[in-house]
Structure 1
């Protein structure tokens, strides 16, 4: 899934959470390693132990992409969509046995009626009736904590990574089933679409030393994109910058306050990539010689903040970005700012939105350059960030019904199952005109992201109405993927000791104050010293031991 984002770690970086929820239970993760013992409240699973748990990977051959994945990029589909009857099936026979399953999931939209035609059609195709207990995605964490603390937990519960704070991790261990007996090794071959989920996503689904989550895989190169108005750049003859200095020089040339045009929005997230800043926790550590160093202790981090601060000081950033007013994307599409950074969903979203009112509108991703104008140092994105879990008290029959739903929902793009889940019934929920599925009014109302949250296929790029977006996006990912590497502990679920879990929380607000000129870079350096004294050095020692015991990454 491609999610729209706003400038906060909650949305840009799913590994950072927003709230603690009060639920009971046994702690989440296994010890730092099975060999080393330790506190079961904290740590991760070793590669040796994970190898015994992971499902066997069997790539799907049902549909081949037009643009193969390269350097970790998403596979791309540029062709027109086929009618439903012409599509291949990835689930030739119903796997459901006629049971009824209750599923709790977030929903960003208006819930459809429980007996709507869309739900009936998908349930009939799977062979399982689903009782959807959807909750407002914006306040999902509040409801999640209450439900997991109760005795009335649904058969399946969807939990995004950004809600896994407080005692939610403990509930994952105590409240949900071990799926290893059903999916580990060759057992997964009973569910071909689940077998085709990339191994890295399954690796992220190991909680407390057991395979517990059904993942929604993310693209390895799904990082924040610096977008620019390609149509305006070409009209004005502006050259795309290839270094921080060129960016600053161009920004000054573009900015014309009297014409209500500014060069860019807040570019902090792009600055982090330009200056090679490490990702957020737990992938925020690197070796400098024999010393383990946190992202906030690096020169790269300070240099990224300083460069962004200078953009603000030069007056090239839209003034509403300084005050946090309005929407950066709206200003970008309206031509008030020429460069912004956002999640990958916006590439298609803005293009689709502007296609009728501004047919000349074109957006492009700026290739990320290094701090010296050379090659950048980038880091792969998390392999997964949302999971569905099955109630620990579920019977074997109920678990199998849940897996039947997940296997159907994880059908790859270009199959009957994927079309039904994404668009509903042809002729009722969508029509197919010139190879483009378009939702009807009933489809807009009823076809929401629900089944999708139980599991998903490998992330792809597929927009039959705008194939150039697919080509541009895949090309950008292929180029950027060539400069990516895995951070320490990549692909591992790590739970820090609770006493240090919020140690770095103050830095995001501090970063925003610094780049806007309200505080100084020296204030960050002082905060880092305070962080070390408050537990940062002890946390460093804990991570060093974790890496020694569990290994440097899951791959």
Structure 2
């Protein structure tokens, strides 16, 4: 993953099945393990679960002050993410002075890529700019949870450690509450003004940083939409004259028309995520998977919409429109099948810009666009805003106050917005060494930049999410316009921006439905099997979990 792929976007897990990671992240951010804060927001570490609410939450949050350093080319619409189509001609400084005071620290973060090794000119330049010395403990992102758990179980805690949302489970949440510093005394309210880039992070993202009733995390903000998007090959659609579907039946008909096994072309990859949106299911990316129906909390798996989405996806598989490798569960290669034209529609995450760059020379006509969501019957569409943050960093509770202040100043630098001098150094390195500028002024990485400038400081802290793709302005425009259209139908779900920690006894309650869903859509099991599974879910703790969420809803509403 290069810095060019990461400008203005949160880093994602590698291609080991994005949908699986996204669903895991959803469950994990819910606190699929045993996080700690009680409903009053003043609880201690334990297995009872809960969430910070009320005055305890409001008093802990930093006061928001938006950044006005750079004006976006496409402003947000209906709450959508703004887009930047070019680099500003003149870069501005977003911090007043060198943040560090000569301290030496250990940072423990994931890495999806190759470790640049010792002697990195990029890390040396960042150390110089920050005024500190960082000892990076970069860990393979694929096995990160195991390494993280082992470190947090010990007594020697890194000065700063990153926890992706999909890793917040098991005993890790308890460790966060017990071993991460309370940042409230340094950031709550107007204290955040000392760190203007941190103060510019949206308040909802900070709400996700509450653990054990305290503000402990530094967030990496998400876009309100875009976690999982239905993409299509716009170049092929234009060539063939295909019209985008507006109903579930139209999708099935188009998929059947596109599919030609003899030509090794199939309509799509697995579309289960999009199916849930089409049938107005409760969001699969928010805490609890709950919505209110006739005055009662109802779980995703209990709804008619869930069964209807399964039934539709089953039809899509049955008519042979899903690529055979996807049917076989080989999700990791979906991107390759899509770019090669073997499949023409797929669900994925923040891949649009990266794929456009990858195909620029190999297939100049290649164009990917997001497909508008639609209701299955062409009626009212319901979309739900996603989690406002999904990756977090924490400071060791063993650090004295002056060291916490120094690291918060470093985090303020790391959260510098697009268009700032700090942003360019962090994302691209040193000009003439790690990047050069093209005719438009856009940084282009050198070979050394590709090797050394990897995901690192964005795991410390990140600015508000943007769509900043100056090397792909048309793709940025397409994505920003898509999000603006879709946000007109979006709303906040019941437990929006709550860092909910479910009791440990419910940690695996939903797990059987992962395999059941896969079996049903592939016709290995029947739709009727879902009812039996739901009955078991209710008997084995589902009703208690409903009461748990109802209590949170009652307290947060009051």
What is the TM-score when the length of structure 1 is the normalising length? Answer: 0.94
Q: What is the CA deviation profile of residues 475-503 of structure 1, one whole-angstrom value per residue up to 9, with x for unaligned ones?
A: 01011111111111110011111111211
Q: Equivalent residue for 1:314?
A: 319
- Whether contact under 8 Å (2:86, 2:471) holds in the other structure is no
* Aligned pair partner of 2:390 in 379, 385, 390: 385
Secondary structure at the aligned position of 2:298 is classed as strand
* Aligned pair partner of 2:22 in 4, 8, 11: 11
* Number of positions where the alignment pairs a residue of Structure 1 with one of Structure 2: 543
Give 1:283 shift. 3.8
Q: Equivalent residue for 2:506?
A: 500
* Aligned pair partner of 1:67 in 69, 74, 85: 74
* Aligned pair partner of 2:230 in 226, 231, 240: 226
Q: Equivalent residue for 1:95?
A: 99
Counterparts of 2:379 and 2:91 in 1: how far apart (Å)? 45
Counterparts of 1:124 and 1:286 in 2: how far apart (Å)? 50
Secondary structure at the aligned position of 1:355 is classed as helix
Give 1:29 shift. 2.3
* Aligned pair partner of 2:360 in 355, 362, 365: 355
- Whether contact under 8 Å (2:35, 2:50) holds in the other structure is no
- Whether contact under 8 Å (1:10, 1:16) holds in the other structure is no
* Aligned pair partner of 1:303 in 283, 305, 308: 308
Secondary structure at the aligned position of 2:499 is classed as coil
* Aligned pair partner of 2:546 in 535, 540, 550: 540
**Matching of residue 195 in structure 1 with residue 202 in structure 2:** no
Counterparts of 2:170 and 2:200 in 1: how far apart (Å)? 33
Give 1:289 shift. 1.4
Secondary structure at the aligned position of 1:14 is classed as helix
Counterparts of 2:22 and 2:546 in 1: how far apart (Å)? 26
Secondary structure at the aligned position of 1:389 is classed as strand
Q: Which runs of 5+ in 1 are unaligned?
A: none
Distance 1:123 1:38, change over 3 A: closer
- Whether contact under 8 Å (2:36, 2:44) holds in the other structure is no
Q: Equivalent residue for 1:55?
A: 62
Q: Which deviates further from its counterpart, 27-36 or 165-174?
A: 27-36
| 1:6-155 superposed matches below 5 A | 6-12=17-23, 14-17=25-28, 28-33=35-40, 41-80=48-87, 82=89, 86-155=90-159
Q: What is the CA deviation profile of residues 188-223 of structure 1, one whole-angstrom value per residue up to 9, with x for unaligned ones?
A: 110110000000100111111110000000011123
Counterparts of 1:351 and 1:302 in 2: how far apart (Å)? 36
**Matching of residue 411 in structure 1 with residue 416 in structure 2:** yes
Distance 1:35 1:197, change over 3 A: closer
Counterparts of 2:209 and 2:52 in 1: how far apart (Å)? 11
Counterparts of 2:80 and 2:219 in 1: how far apart (Å)? 19
Counterparts of 2:230 and 2:448 in 1: how far apart (Å)? 36
* Aligned pair partner of 1:375 in 373, 380, 397: 380
Distance 1:430 1:34, change over 3 A: closer
**Matching of residue 456 in structure 1 with residue 467 in structure 2:** no
Secondary structure at the aligned position of 1:448 is classed as coil
Q: Equivalent residue for 1:522?
A: 528
Give 1:69 shift. 1.3
Q: Equivalent residue for 2:334?
A: 328
Counterparts of 1:220 and 1:298 in 2: how far apart (Å)? 24
* Aligned pair partner of 1:289 in 286, 291, 294: 294
Q: Equivalent residue for 1:420?
A: 425
* Aligned pair partner of 1:549 in 543, 548, 555: 555
**Matching of residue 157 in structure 1 with residue 161 in structure 2:** yes
Q: Equivalent residue for 2:263?
A: 259
Secondary structure at the aligned position of 1:356 is classed as helix
Q: Equivalent residue for 1:272?
A: 276
Q: Which runs of 5+ in 2 are unaligned?
A: 1-9
Counterparts of 1:123 and 1:108 in 2: how far apart (Å)? 22
Q: Which deviates further from its counterpart, 421-430 or 497-506?
A: 497-506
Q: Equivalent residue for 2:242?
A: 238
Q: Equivalent residue for 2:188?
A: 184
Secondary structure at the aligned position of 1:101 is classed as strand
Runs of 4+ in 1 over 3 A off after TM superposition: 34-41
Secondary structure at the aligned position of 1:15 is classed as helix
Q: What is the CA deviation profile of residues 274-304 of structure 1, one whole-angstrom value per residue up to 9, with x for unaligned ones?
A: 1111124624111111221101000111111
Give 1:72 shift. 2.6
Distance 1:81 1:199, change over 3 A: same
Distance 1:157 1:214, change over 3 A: same
- Whether contact under 8 Å (2:77, 2:484) holds in the other structure is yes
What is the TM-score when the length of structure 2 is the normalising length? Answer: 0.94
Q: Which deviates further from its counterpart, 4-13 or 500-509?
A: 4-13
Counterparts of 2:252 and 2:555 in 1: how far apart (Å)? 45
- Whether contact under 8 Å (1:114, 1:132) holds in the other structure is no
Counterparts of 2:27 and 2:48 in 1: how far apart (Å)? 19
